[in-house]
Structure 1
């Protein structure tokens, strides 16, 4: 008979693709994981993984087993209360987010949540690659691409805008910019192209096709700091760029770019109290910063526009 514990080992290897990574997540030695998988395959009578030097991938039979294992895992999670005897949330909630949202919207908004739920650990995993919505590697995800309903429950979280930024010193020392074509004479800063598989972040292909990106770094913090140092021009979310008095927007009437953050919750996680509490947190953070997300937070002396 296949045990729920064996399926737990199976899921961790399926999600991570390597024994060592799965062992770290489970808090055991990788040889223990290997023994559990071998025992599972003996009990089932077929192989659930194809082994290769680059990692472990699901076999066809493993792919068929996956949704059943996830269902069992979800049932076990639901049966184990995620609150302690005093009614406080416990355990861990893992949130997958795009780089900028995780660092500059979510992380700064955790203060009150942390005080309300001191026994709950929050893991924020940021990436410029698409999260695997078909694998339960997270409890909640904020994505830039609209998810597929078969993988998760989802809804639009918020729109936000980006603009192009540079320092006044950089602009004074380099050729004038009157239209997008003038940017060909300037240093552009953006993500590393071959590590970027999120289509909405390929925005330079849309607004500045054919322009060379001389400085590529896989972090919005790198874009921001390079722009602040006067290296060149970087597209930044307005909720970041407009808050930095060292930067000014470039061609703001021409190069305003709109994107959408989506909130996705794997169906197995939606029933967990800690996931529901975190969803409420995300919605409150977005509501409180809606003006920043859409219009930035201007450092000018003008009267602040009312929040939307």
Structure 2
């Protein structure tokens, strides 16, 4: 009789399918890249074929691998039910979930959503990686990406979370000393605060794509928090997310009726990740957070 594949190896395959990289899986499971590779090879031998194939987007499942992952998901669900019985918490989530998100939205929306989720599920561990970039093609070893702008992906699913606005702001001190422009052309006579264009992956966040005139001088930073602070301290006019500064006395709207930019925010994940209870819970928590704070996002 052919020996059944190891449940542990099946669960490792499931983690590879979700994260896409052996290194990320090894780090998540507290082992080594070599061990993960060896366990996958052992599983392939037991199943009589390859479960994974390398692509430009990371490791992808073969047809056999997809069938094996379905079995792994059933094992995961059963173990989750057993864990709930042991802990007397049938609805509890545990394990590690990794999320990549942009700085500003991550701090203002993702963080409170995840903290609230952890309060409900104390055994759930969270790793949040901050990066303002376009959607990854290989998921970069995370369960879920939260990204701004266009999402041109072929091996993942996208879930719309919300829209938000970029608007122009200055500090009251800067406005009193330099005055504020009365037209969009007048913005070119002022200092301008924005992202470092040469390092920016999301073009929609930059000054060049805004069709605003070239500024007299610029202060560029890769961190949105540094940009907000630079505007607050009078470096110039900044193109800032409204949810970070709207309604705060340290920031004065500039030409609010003449210029604004609306951008979408998406959650992106592999199909295998989206079937994870932890990832589903994170997405639900994010939707709850943005639904409750739509006034701020639109403000």
Question: TM-score under structure 2 normalisation?
Answer: 0.76
The corresponding residue for 1:182 is 186
Task: Judge which range, 72-81 or 183-192, deviates more.
Answer: 72-81
Question: In the TM superposition, what is the alpha-carbon distance from 1:246 to its structure 2 partner?
Answer: 1.0
The corresponding residue for 1:232 is 236
Q: How does 1:132-143 map to 2 (within 5 A)?
A: 132-135=136-139, 137-143=141-147
**CA offsets per residue over residues 173-232 of structure 1, 9 Å max, x none?**
125411122222222111121221113223542231544662111111111111112222
Q: Give, in whole Å, the separation in 2 of the partners of 1:262 and 1:12.
A: 18
Q: Give, in whole Å, the separation in 1 of the partners of 2:113 and 2:42.
A: 48
Question: Are residues 128 and 212 of structure 1, via their aligned partners in 2, closer, same or farther at CA, if it must alter by over 3 Å?
Answer: farther
Q: Give, in whole Å, the separation in 2 of the partners of 1:105 and 1:235.
A: 19
CA RMSD after TM alignment: 3.5
2:249 aligned counterpart, secondary structure = coil
1:197 aligned counterpart, secondary structure = coil
Q: Give, in whole Å, the separation in 2 of the partners of 1:94 and 1:233.
A: 35
Cα contact 2:167–2:259 (8 A) shared by 1: yes
Question: Are residues 110 and 127 of structure 1, via their aligned partners in 2, closer, same or farther at CA, if it must alter by over 3 Å?
Answer: same
Choose from 212, 219, 222 the match for 1:215. Answer: 219
The corresponding residue for 1:254 is 258
Cα contact 1:136–1:266 (8 A) shared by 2: no
The corresponding residue for 2:168 is 164
Verify: 1:145 aligned to 2:137, yes or no: no
Choose from 15, 34, 38 the match for 2:21. Answer: 15
1:269 aligned counterpart, secondary structure = helix
**CA offsets per residue over residues 36-64 of structure 1, 9 Å max, x none?**
648978999xxxxxxxxxxxxxxxx6329
Q: How does 1:91-170 map to 2 (within 5 A)?
A: 91-135=95-139, 137-148=141-152, 150-170=154-174
1:67 aligned counterpart, secondary structure = strand
**CA offsets per residue over residues 257-285 of structure 1, 9 Å max, x none?**
11111232320012111122111111111
Task: Judge which range, 149-158 or 254-263, deviates more.
Answer: 149-158
The corresponding residue for 1:33 is 33
Name the count of aligned residue pairs: 274
Q: Give, in whole Å, the separation in 2 of the partners of 1:265 and 1:13.
A: 9
Choose from 272, 275, 278 the match for 1:274. Answer: 278
Cα contact 1:96–1:140 (8 A) shared by 2: yes
Question: Are residues 160 and 213 of structure 1, via their aligned partners in 2, closer, same or farther at CA, if it must alter by over 3 Å?
Answer: farther
Choose from 56, 59, 63 the match for 1:66. Answer: 59
Structure 2 unpaired stretches of 5+: 45-52
Task: Judge which range, 154-163 or 66-75, deviates more.
Answer: 66-75
Verify: 1:79 aligned to 2:82, yes or no: no
Question: In the TM superposition, what is the alpha-carbon distance from 1:148 to its structure 2 partner?
Answer: 4.3
Task: Judge which range, 269-278 or 104-113, deviates more.
Answer: 104-113
Q: Give, in whole Å, the separation in 2 of the partners of 1:212 and 1:264.
A: 38
**CA offsets per residue over residues 229-255 of structure 1, 9 Å max, x none?**
222221111111114221111111112
Q: Give, in whole Å, the separation in 1 of the partners of 2:35 and 2:106.
A: 37
Q: Give, in whole Å, the separation in 1 of the partners of 2:293 and 2:128.
A: 19
